Structure formats: structure tokens, C-alpha cells
Amino acid sequence: MSWRTEHDSMGEVRVPAERYWGAQTQRSIENFPIGTEYEKMPEEIIRAFGYLKKAAAQANRELQPARMTEQKLRAIEQAADEIISGKLREEFPLVVWQTGSGTQSNMNVNEVIANRGNAIAAEKLLHPNDDVNMSQSSNDTFPTAMHIAAAEILEKRVIPSVKGLTEELARLESENEDVLKGGRTHLQDAVPIRFSQEISGWRSSLEKDIGMLQDALPGLRELALGGTAVGTGLNAPKGFDTLAAEKTAALTGIPFVTAGNKFHALTSLDEMVFAHGALKALACDLMKCANDIRWLASGPRLGLGEISIPENEPGSSIMPGKVNPTQCEQVTMVAARVIGNDVTVGFAASQGNFELNVFLPVCAYSFLQSARLLAESAEAFRERCVSGIKARREKMEDNMGRSLMTVTALTPYIGYENAAKAAQTALKENLSLREACVRLGLMTEAEFDEKYHPERMA
């Protein structure tokens, strides 16, 4: 490997000659040999930095044209566009486990844009601090990148994925409006329910989760950019914060605005906590839905067996013909990871000391992992499981016919205690409810047939 020499305020550093990053990035590589290849700064954060650096340069061009010349702006814009497109992804090697402010990742972006911009201009045009980081600090850019990345992944990936799943459930609901089945509470038999009603519970839960995610978006659309080091806006021109937010909104298509209080924006992660709480709620509801489906599909002969689900792959290396509810299992494992991430996000948010939170990278990493996993999990679950669910109507009818809780329909006529006696007698003596009521002298056969209509109970 060939090397070149770069320098920063602490002195000279050797950097791989083929890379655009500079001295501060290299120092971080050497000082934080922690984690695996999969614990690098999330690509969503890097793309968000591309947007905010481009927006900041555009705002500086309007507010400080003598410092941000047209030539510098064009070089920054082109380099930032390459970052946004993912073309320069290999230039961002830093791990999450670095400084809690994300300073090294901000400088990583500054150095790459500066050196790539200089290559584009074919001259030493840009300085990473003076030009690319103009009117900014790591302390306001990293929280800004977090909000951009979080809002973008919720709006463009998570919410559409969950909407697709709710639409599939709505279709399934419509197909099963006439299907009656036994309900279950406490994993015990309960009164009848229509299968469509059961599905509607799943659908409605996910629709409410979408609503909670949408409620979290306005807070995420507030940007810290312009607060600079401690929230005072030192070294940023008047109006920079508002203009930079407007430019970011134009670039992303998301209505970002400047945060009303930069002291809050730099030190608090409450918007991230709130939004991740909605992700956790989604995870919980997806787990419930997946668990219901795998219980209903259990069998094929020794379980409930009331629905069939797609058979995607062999389920055992030793038991021929076994097929497992693997899509339900991936959903529940993803939910477990998201619930764990919620603890991390919450704890990270509690570590705002004075004018800065110093748990930003791990908060961003955990949040984006949760969002990414839920979006991909919901899509796979819809495509490879829910779309292929079929009601086993005969099995549902048979199970409901053997349920003792349909005796609840008779309580207005024979009373609660007599109905309980009928159910207990039927269970102990292996009788039908009809036979039990007649044997106990509670009703005649004709009276039973007149009053007993399970289909009306749903």
C-alpha cells in the first residue's frame, strides 16, 4: 500500500494514498479498533451528512459569497452528490464506537468532500474545516444528520412497508368475513369470533402504529444545524439556520425546519426516543400478529391447524417433510432486537450533559437498525407469509363446534351458574352442550335448538 502525508492541528499523519479521507479520519481508525465490519457508521447517516453539507454550502453561498465562492460551492455540491448516491461509501470506514459527539464522522465527511472536491477542481480549493464545515460544528451537524436519517427512513421505508402489510391484511379480512371460529383468551376456549374480526385486530394495531410513527415525524423534522458548538450559533451568519433547513428540505423532499431552541437540539434526544417508542410499539404489535399466526397454523395434525401458511423451505435436517413458520420467527426475533435497542436509545438520551449529548453514534446506530429491520421484516412477512394465509374452514368449524364456551349464549335463559354446570358436565362426561343441558333438566331439546345459535354471537 502506498501512503501520503496529511496534517491536522496535532501534526502529520500517514494516510492511504488512494483514499480521500484525511488526518482526523486516519487518527480515528487507529484510535478506535473496536467492533466488526457491521458496526461502521450507518450509511443513512453518511447520506444525511451529504445532504446537510450540500445544504450548508448553498446557504453559505447566499449569506457569505466572499467566503463560499461559486467554484467552491460547485465542488462541494458534486462531492456531496457522490456521497448521497453511495458512490463514495468506501471512504467512510469509521466505527460507531468513537467519540460520543460523532466529531470524527463529521470530520470524515469534511475531509472526503474537501479532497474529492479538490480532485474535481484539479486544484487545492477546499479546506475541510474552513470551507466544508463553514458555519457548522460537529455538535450541531451530527444531531442534524440523525434527524435527517431518522425522518427519511421512517417516511420512505418503514411507513410504506407497514402500509403494504396492512393492505394485505385488509384483503385477507375481506376474504374471510363469513368464516366463524372459536375465540381464545388466556390460551383457553372463548366465545366465537369471525376470522375477519380477528384479522381486523391485527390490521388496526398496525394502522395505529403508522399513526404513532407519523406523530413522531414533526419532531424529527426540526434540525439543530446553525447551533454550532453550544447552541449559540457562534461563527454562523444570521439566518443560516433557517436557510440551511430550507435547503435541506428542498434536497430531500422532507419539510425540515430549523429547531426553535438550539440549546435543546444539541443536548436532547427526546425526539429520537419518542420516535423509537413508536418503532417499539410496532415491534410489539408485529410480534403479537406473528405469534397469533403461528399458533393458528400449528400442526399440521397435532396443533390448532386453523389456517395454512406458505411452505417456504424444509424445516428440519432430520425430520422429513417438516415445515416451520419461519417468517413468523424472523418477525419475532426482529421485534426482540428492536425492544433491546429501545433500552439503548433511552439510556443514550439520558446522557445529555450540560450543552451536549455524548451518546449520539450509538443512539443513531440503534435507531436506524431498528427502523431498517422493521421495514425489511414487514415486507418479507407480507410477501412470504401473510399473502398466502388460507383459512381451514372445516377445522375452524369443528373446533368451534366442540367449544364449551358457546354456552355463554344460554346464560340469559338458564343463568350463569346453570350454564357453568352444563359446561362442566359436558367436559367431564364428554357430552355436547345440548346433551348436557337436557340431562341436567335445564332445557328441552327444542328449547336448546331455539336459543343456541353460535353464529349470532359474533
Residues annotated as part of the active site: 186, 316
Peptide bond before residue 143 is cis, with ω within 30 degrees of 0: no
Amino acid found at 222: E
Task: Output 302-306 pairs: Cβ under 8 A, ≥24 positions apart.
Answer: 304/399, 305/392, 305/395, 306/181, 306/391, 306/392, 306/395, 306/396, 306/399
The identity of residue 28, as a single letter, is S
CA distance 114 to 23: 12
Query: Which of 115, 113, 93 is CA-nearest to residue 104?
Result: 93
Give the separation between CA 268 and CA 220, rounded to whole angstroms. Answer: 12
Q: Nearest to residue 275, comparing CAs of 202, 220, 344?
A: 220
Q: Which alpha helices (H) appear in 122-233, and where do they start and end?
A: 138-153, 159-175, 195-220
Quote the CA–CA distance of 432 and 410 in Å, as a whole number: 14
Rounded Cα distance, 29 and 8, in Å: 15
The candidate with the shortest Cα–Cα distance to 236, out of 244, 228, 246, is 228
Per the document, the length of the chain is: 458
CB atoms within 10 A of CB 336: 12
Amino acid found at 148: I
The span from the CA of 260 to the CA of 264, in Å, is 9
C-alpha cell at 382: 407480507
- The type of residue at 125 is L
Can you say whether the dihedral through the CA atoms of 452, 454, 456, 458 is positive or negative?
positive
What does 19-59 look like in DSSP terms, one character per residue? Answer: ----HHHHHHHHH---S-GGGBPPHHHHHHHHHHHHHHHHH
